[in-house]
Structure 1
Amino acid sequence: MAEIKQPWGLSVLGAGHVSAEPTVAMVRLAVDLLAPTPKEAFERAGAAVARLRGVLREHGVPDSEVSGSRLALKSDFNGYGAERTFRGYRCEALYTVQTRALDRLELLVEEAVQAGANRVDEVHFDVLDKPRLRDEARRRAVAAARRKAEVYAEACGVPLGPVVHIQDVDPESLGVRSHGSRVGGDAELEGVFAPGSVRVEAAVLLGFGLAH
């Protein structure tokens, strides 16, 4: 049997969201090459990185909006245990590219791959004014919580008192769609990188006193 050990008032959870057209895309690319010697691996990867940088500059992406890692080298094997065989030396460099030219995104990715970025790990759409959108989502979460509290208080026939507790809640802990995800639309009709809309979430736990 459920029991309220420390009754004090009314606690409700509210969630809110704001959807907006994306203004920026984040693309994670990798130059990932295998060669028989460390020297050849470094040379081939270095040349691919130079070509990739050239393509990004041609698309108007400044160096400040490209974050990357140094070339990393490691031995590469095939199989496990006694069956393991040496394949060569793998050289890898990871890059995250931010671009606002969403109408040319598919062309940018295509030319980046042709230049030597032989791995596309992720294409993620986002908004630049997320703090403003997050604040609006929080306001909507508070409004939703208050509406819910008013319904409970009315149903119980008691006046709703003042807010006595406010707790921010991670919206992802509620199982809602995280920000930056694609909402709605048909991927086959819109194209490979059709952005849809960006959804910014917020949630709050409010505690209300009950008037006597």
Structure 2
Amino acid sequence: MYGNQSIDTPWGASVFGAASVDAAPDLARLRVAIAETRPKPAEAFEATRVGVNRIREVLRRHGIPDTAVSTSRLDLKSSWDYGSKRKFLGYECTASFVIELRELDLLESVLVDVVEAGANEVDGVEFDVSAKKELRAQARTAAVAAAREKAELYAEAAQVRLGPVVHIKDVDSDQVQNSYRSHRGGGPGGDGDGDLTPGRISVTAGVVIGFSLIGG
């Protein structure tokens, strides 16, 4: 619900409008990590550093620049075997990074080569669109049009006319996204920004607009 059902101070008409713009994804973000366990912390760091360099070399051979690879996490922790008897295995160093890929045709081969180069954790693949700002602007324009159309229907039914706009409130896109999912069933084929599907990306927008009213 995007507002109270009761009207505390009557002043006009307040309506909610939402819209969604679909686009084919043109980039993917691969979230992978390499973890190495060694008896000493320095050895774990060195083994992980070597693995990261191998992965970067593989990416360069695919034509992916270093600027498209960002390190998101570097961890060092004690590793234990909790079997019948607790046993210290060493120090585990983990380097996690995000690879931004703009040639989706290379996705499968890049992922396979990265794993073969030593990435032993794959956290997922996220599809996205590079023109999200422009698509969001289109969705917002359409959301305003949807709100006005709804307000005109209410005004006609109530035998009044719409006056000037007196209030505009942006609605968080995550709220609109969840609303679309709940009405369309959600799931893996959903319409949220960045859903894990290569078919389409839906960029949503919502707005609450207040109109003054003129007697009919």
Q: TM-score range by the shorter chain?
A: 0.7 to 0.9
Separation in 1, partners of 2:158, 2:80: 68
1:13 to 12, 16, 21: 16
Within the alignment, does 1:171 sit opposite 2:185 as a pair?
A: no
Within the alignment, does 1:208 sit opposite 2:211 as a pair?
A: yes
SS in 1 for 2:14: strand
Q: Hey, what does 1:114 align to over in structure 2?
A: 116
Tell me which amino acid in the other structure corresponds to 2:155.
A
Q: Is the 8 A contact 1:182 1:197 kept in 2?
A: no
Aligned residue pairs total 199
Q: Is the 8 A contact 1:52 1:112 kept in 2?
A: yes
Q: Hey, what does 1:143 align to over in structure 2?
A: 145
Tell me which amino acid in the other structure corresponds to 2:195.
S
Normalising by structure 1, what TM-score? 0.86
1:99 to 101, 115, 125: 101
SS in 2 for 1:14: strand
Separation in 2, partners of 1:69, 1:148: 45
Separation in 1, partners of 2:6, 2:19: 30
Deviations 1:83-121 (A, max 9, x none): 754232111111111111100101000100000111111
Tell me which amino acid in the other structure corresponds to 1:19.
D
Separation in 2, partners of 1:165, 1:68: 43
Tell me which amino acid in the other structure corresponds to 1:102.
L
| 1:75-90 equivalent positions in 2, closer than 5 A | 75-79=78-82, 84-90=86-92
Q: Is the 8 A contact 1:15 1:171 kept in 2?
A: no
Q: Hey, what does 2:56 align to over in structure 1?
A: 53
Comparing 43-52 and 89-98, the one that deviates more: 43-52
Separation in 2, partners of 1:135, 1:118: 40
Separation in 2, partners of 1:48, 1:182: 27
Comparing 143-152 and 171-180, the one that deviates more: 171-180
Cα 1:78/1:211, change in 2 over 3 Å: farther
Q: How much does 1:44 deviate?
A: 2.1
Deviations 1:24-79 (A, max 9, x none): 11111111122333243223212211110001101111111111157532212344
Note the aligned Cα RMSD (angstroms): 2.1
Q: Is the 8 A contact 1:27 1:96 kept in 2?
A: yes
Comparing 5-14 and 67-76, the one that deviates more: 67-76
Normalising by structure 2, what TM-score? 0.85
Q: Is the 8 A contact 2:192 2:201 kept in 1?
A: no
Tell me which amino acid in the other structure corresponds to 2:203.
V
Q: Is the 8 A contact 2:136 2:204 kept in 1?
A: yes
Separation in 1, partners of 2:73, 2:196: 31
Unmatched runs of 5 consecutive residues or more in structure 1: 184-194
Separation in 2, partners of 1:155, 1:172: 32
SS in 1 for 2:160: coil
Q: Hey, what does 1:196 align to over in structure 2?
A: 199
1:134 to 133, 136, 140: 136
Q: Is the 8 A contact 1:182 1:198 kept in 2?
A: no
Separation in 2, partners of 1:100, 1:168: 31
Comparing 152-161 and 35-44, the one that deviates more: 35-44
